[in-house]
């Protein structure tokens, strides 16, 4: 009875979210363009604005959830997100390993930093059809840091950092690598626990700073530093897939949950500081009746959030493979360009106009944006 009641509540919340989006004020945003950027990629894109004005996206370039060996790739756009080209590989994989889990950002010197994790036991690309899910989830590969001094063209890996929870399980990197307001960088990693790591040498080596949550409460988590010095995180939950907001007032040593900022099956999230100081929450929608990408606007302290606004409708998010609806998509990442244009990347398994896995790009504006001073990533 308890399970049935919970299921009914989840469905009702999902329906309410669809109705709320339909009633939301569309005048808050103006969509400028929408592109298919990288075809045939499941991707889980992570965007970064580089010091030269280019946009970098680090992606998993295959049309599956890591079913074959391979490496995440760096793709670059020099025209604000319309056209993309592959420029480099942050961490090369070894045979049998899929290096697909990524976190990226800039260090204090403007170098491009990546942290790449993944899993072993994978067949070659040619033999991907033979892959079967293991009965027991294997330990993840140890994440490897890598730094590029030439805007994502060449990379230097660094070994030796240990990303593990207390029981010895290796962690999975996710989301933004961002500044703590000094020469330190921060990144989130997860498995059963979510753990916050810091680097004091520009992303070459990393040390554990604090535990965000323990025991399969949260998983994919991103974060940024607020103008008041607090660290704010948005974390996907294991139980029903909503997103919680969490806050640290001691530079990431301890974290306190502040409750949900999205409803069940609405995840994962990205955080971006807007030119006017507000915080943008971008997240995926996986509710029956609407699959897409949604945004909410928070105040500068991330304590007050506006109503959800639909940014992208994935129109069923399916490629109709074998005549069966197989929905998949989301994982948005948003950056702000120097002219104030926002660029959001997401992935989908297909729309009626393009029935293959691909990375979609949306360029959009706020209706009444503040005058921007420079391109901004979360936490910068």
In a domain, 102, yes or no: yes
In a domain, 375, yes or no: no
Does the pLDDT at position 374 exceed 70? Answer: no
Q: Which of these, 234, 242, 195, 187, lies nearest to 214 by C-alpha position?
A: 195
% pLDDT > 70, the chain: 87
Q: What span, in angstroms and rounded, lies between the C-alpha atoms of 192 and 184?
A: 25
Cα dist from 168 to 120, 140, 174, 192, whole Å: 17, 11, 19, 11
Strands 207-213 and 98-106: unpaired
Residue written as token pair 């889990």 = 101
SS3 202: coil
Does the pLDDT at position 300 exceed 70? Answer: yes
Q: Each residue of 54-71: pLDDT tens digit?
A: 999 999 999 999 999 999
Percent of the chain as helix, strand, coil, to the nearest 5: 10, 45, 45
Does the pLDDT at position 377 exceed 60? Answer: no
Q: What span, in angstroms and rounded, lies between the C-alpha atoms of 165 and 34?
A: 40
Provide the pLDDT for residue 315.
Answer: 82
Provide the pLDDT for residue 322.
Answer: 54
SS3 33: strand
Phi and psi, residue 377, nearest 5°: -105, 170
Q: What average pLDDT does this structure show over 24-43? A: 85
How would you write 68-100 as a 3-class SS string? CCEECEEEEECCCCCCCEEEECCCCCCCCCEEE
Stretch among 166-170, 286-290, 357-361 having the lowest mean pLDDT: 286-290
Phi and psi, residue 130, nearest 5°: -85, -5
Does the pLDDT at position 248 exceed 80? Answer: yes
Residue 3: band (very low, low, confident or very high) from pLDDT cuts 50, 70, 90: very low
Token code pair at residue 26: 């569309």
Please give the angle made by the CA atoms of 137, 286 and 355, to the nearest 5 degrees.
90
Stretch among 170-179, 265-274, 316-325, 343-352 having the lowest mean pLDDT: 316-325
Count of domains in the chain? 1
Q: What average pLDDT does this structure show over 106-135? A: 96
Instruction: Give the structural domain span for 310.
Output: 2-366
Q: In the β-sheet with 342-348, what is the strand arrangement from edge to edge?
A: 29-39, 358-366, 342-348, 329-336
In a domain, 19, yes or no: yes
Q: What span, in angstroms and rounded, lies between the C-alpha atoms of 60 and 119?
A: 13
Cβ(370)–Cβ(275) below 8 Å: yes
In a domain, 167, yes or no: yes
Q: Is 38 exposed, middle or buried (0-12, 13-18, 19+ CB in 10 A)?
A: buried
In a domain, 45, yes or no: yes
Q: Which of these, 224, 229, 276, 263, lies nearest to 246 by C-alpha position?
A: 224
Q: Each residue of 220-247: pLDDT tens digit?
A: 999 999 999 999 999 999 999 999 999 9
CA dihedral sign, ordered 132, 133, 138, 143 = positive
Provide the pLDDT for residue 27.
Answer: 61
Provide the pLDDT for residue 1.
Answer: 37
CATH number at residue 325: 2.120.10.10
The number of C-alpha atoms within 13 Å of 237 and in the hemisphere containing its C-beta is: 17
**Rg over CA atoms, the chain:** 19
Q: Which of these, 329, 325, 334, lies nearest to 313 by C-alpha position?
A: 329
Provide the pLDDT for residue 368.
Answer: 66
Cβ(330)–Cβ(347) below 8 Å: yes
Cα dist from 202 to 32, 112, 146, 180, 186, whole Å: 35, 9, 10, 12, 10
In a domain, 378, yes or no: no
Token code pair at residue 380: 């910068």
Please give the angle made by the CA atoms of 237, 243 and 248, to the nearest 5 degrees.
95
Query: How many residues are recorded in the chain?
Result: 380
In a domain, 372, yes or no: no
Provide the pLDDT for residue 40.
Answer: 96
Does the pLDDT at position 325 exceed 80? Answer: no
Q: Which of these, 93, 92, 94, 91, lies nearest to 112 by C-alpha position?
A: 91
Q: What span, in angstroms and rounded, lies between the C-alpha atoms of 134 and 184?
A: 38
Does the pLDDT at position 7 exceed 50? Answer: no
Cβ(224)–Cβ(234) below 8 Å: no
């Amino acid at each position: 009875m308890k399970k049935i009641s919970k299921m009914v509540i989840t469905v009702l919340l999902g329906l309410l979210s669809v109705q709320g989006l339909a009633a939301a004020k569309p005048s808050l945003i103006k969509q400028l363009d929408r592109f298919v950027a990288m075809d045939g990629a499941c991707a889980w894109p992570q965007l970064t604005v580089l010091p030269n004005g280019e946009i970098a996206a680090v992606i998993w370039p295959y049309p599956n959830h890591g079913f074959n060996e391979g490496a995440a790739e760096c793709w670059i756009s020099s025209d604000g997100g319309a056209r993309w080209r592959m420029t480099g590989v942050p961490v090369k994989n070894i045979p049998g390993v899929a290096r697909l889990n990524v976190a990226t950002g800039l260090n204090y010197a403007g170098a491009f930093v990546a942290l790449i994790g993944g899993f072993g036991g994978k067949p070659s690309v040619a033999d991907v059809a033979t892959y079967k899910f293991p009965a027991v989830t294997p330990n993840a590969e140890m994440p490897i840091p890598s730094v590029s001094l030439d805007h994502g063209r060449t990379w230097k890996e660094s070994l030796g950092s240990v990303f593990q929870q207390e029981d010895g399980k290796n962690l999975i990197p996710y989301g933004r690598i961002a500044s703590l307001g000094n020469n330190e960088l921060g990144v989130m990693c997860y498995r059963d626990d979510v753990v916050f790591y810091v680097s004091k040498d520009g992303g070459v080596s990393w040390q554990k700073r604090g535990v965000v949550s323990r025991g399969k409460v949260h998983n994919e988590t991103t974060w940024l530093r607020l103008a008041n010095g607090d660290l704010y995180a948005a974390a996907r939950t294991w139980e029903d897939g909503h997103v919680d907001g969490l806050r640290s007032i001691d530079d990431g040593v301890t974290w306190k949950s502040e409750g949900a900022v999205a409803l069940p099956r609405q995840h994962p999230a990205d955080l971006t500081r807007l030119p006017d100081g507000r915080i943008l929450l971008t997240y995926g929608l996986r509710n029956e009746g609407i699959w897409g990408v949604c945004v909410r606007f928070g105040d500068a302290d991330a304590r007050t959030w506006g109503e959800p606004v639909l940014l992208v409708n994935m129109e069923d998010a399916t490629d109709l493979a074998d005549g069966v609806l197989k929905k998949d998509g989301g994982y948005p990442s948003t950056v702000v360009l120097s002219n104030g244009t926002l660029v959001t990347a997401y992935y989908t398994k297909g729309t009626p106009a393009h029935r293959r896995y691909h990375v979609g790009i949306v360029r959009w504006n706020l209706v009444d944006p503040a005058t921007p001073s420079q391109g901004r990533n979360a936490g910068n």
